[in-house]
Amino acid sequence: MNEVSDQVLIQKVVTLNCHDSFADLVKRHQSSLRYSLRQITGWDQALADDIAQETFIKAYQAIPSFKGTAKFSSWLYRIAYNIFVSHFRVARNRELTSSETVSNYSRCVGLSESSDLHRDLAKALLNLPPKQRIALHLHLHKQLTHDEICNIMEIPLGSVKTLITRGKKILQDDLSSWKHGDRI
Amino acid sequence: MSDKFDIDQLFNQLRDSEPALDDSFFVNTVASKLKNNNNVEFLTKENLSTLVAGAIGYGVAIGYFPAMELIEFTQSIAQIPTTFTLTPTYLISILGISSTFAGLTYWVSEKEWSS
């Protein structure tokens, strides 16, 4: 099937204000973005979908400024990342401390009867600081290059590498029990 | 062999089994929110076209504009003294008028008008 490229759809949205073309872009990218947001929010589906919706609405409003130098998906991730970080800042102001997050994680893991690997890993990722969580997900799951992650997170290359190395080590230690069949 | 958990293998497994999330409800929600945004845009366009129509109307009507009368009016305005002495009586009068006006405004806004 001949699928229209993202760039053509974006052009239609910008020049013709075509809602259908934007809906096609949403259909094309929503699953991947929502999945990523679920991974970094500890599989909080409602929160992940809220952030995803806000991401697409902001993307629609800012689409004339999209230069096309990066992939559209990377641009979306950049918007989503900023929304996620600001959400986390607000949550932290509401005294959602990291210790509380960890205890929530433990409770979830303890109660869960699901063997869903995706959900379990998302909850395990909650043990990491948000930036490490995102960098690790983008690198290991989405297989983005360090440069792409730099662009999304707007941080230097060295910081990205450090986040990934440290995050990987912490996660590896946390999940070592899984090897012995202790997962959930 | 290392006892460490193989993270790369785990993420490979996750990538291979990443679920495709259903789009229908999500896309509809985004579309409805965009429509709400569009309503505001429509109002803005409407306002803009009103302004343009207004400007055209002024352009047509400028020939009938009473310029001379207006000049005479501005001349009469110029005759209003620019300096004046503020006497206690004058001050009390201003305060009285402004208080009355403020009270009247408050009464009108608070009064429940029966149909």
ipTM value for the complex: 0.76
Helix %, strand %, coil % of chain B (to 5): 75, 0, 25
- List, for residues A103-162, the tens digit of each pLDDT value: 343 334 433 433 488 988 898 899 899 999 999 999 999 999 999 999 999 999 999 999
- List, for residues A4-16, the tens digit of each pLDDT value: 899 999 999 999 8
Whether B4 has its CB under 8 Å from any CB of chain A: the answer is: yes
Q: Which among B3, B27, B29 has CB closest to A176?
A: B3
Instruction: Please determine, for residue B33, whether its predicted confidence score (pLDDT) is greater than 60.
Output: yes
Whether B8 has its CB under 8 Å from any CB of chain A: the answer is: yes
- Report the distance separating Cα B68 and Cα A152, nearest Å: 65
Domain boundaries, chain B: 22-110
Q: Which among B5, B15, B18 has CB closest to A179?
A: B5
Using CA atoms, how far residue A175 sits from A136, B9, B15, B49, in Å, is: 14, 13, 18, 63
Domain boundaries, chain A: 6-180
pLDDT the model gives residue A180: 59
Are A37 and B26 spatial neighbours (Cβ–Cβ below 8 Å)?
no
The angle formed by the CA atoms of residues A3, A20 and A69, to the nearest 5 degrees, is: 60
- List, for residues B34-77, the tens digit of each pLDDT value: 877 665 555 566 777 888 888 888 877 777 777 777 778 777 77
- Report the distance separating Cα A30 and Cα A28, nearest Å: 6
> CATH for A6-180?
1.20.140.160
Residues in A closer than 8 angstroms to B31, CB to CB, are 19, 23, 26
DSSP state of B4: S
Closest C-alpha to A59, from A78, A40, A41:
A78
Whether B19 has its CB under 8 Å from any CB of chain A: the answer is: yes
How far is B47 from chain A, CA to nearest CA, in Å?
Answer: 19
pLDDT the model gives residue B56: 86
In a mutagenesis test of the A interface, which of B1, B3, B26 is the best target, namely the one with the most A β-carbons within 10 Å?
A: B26
Using CA atoms, how far residue B105 sits from A106, B98, B101, in Å, is: 62, 10, 6
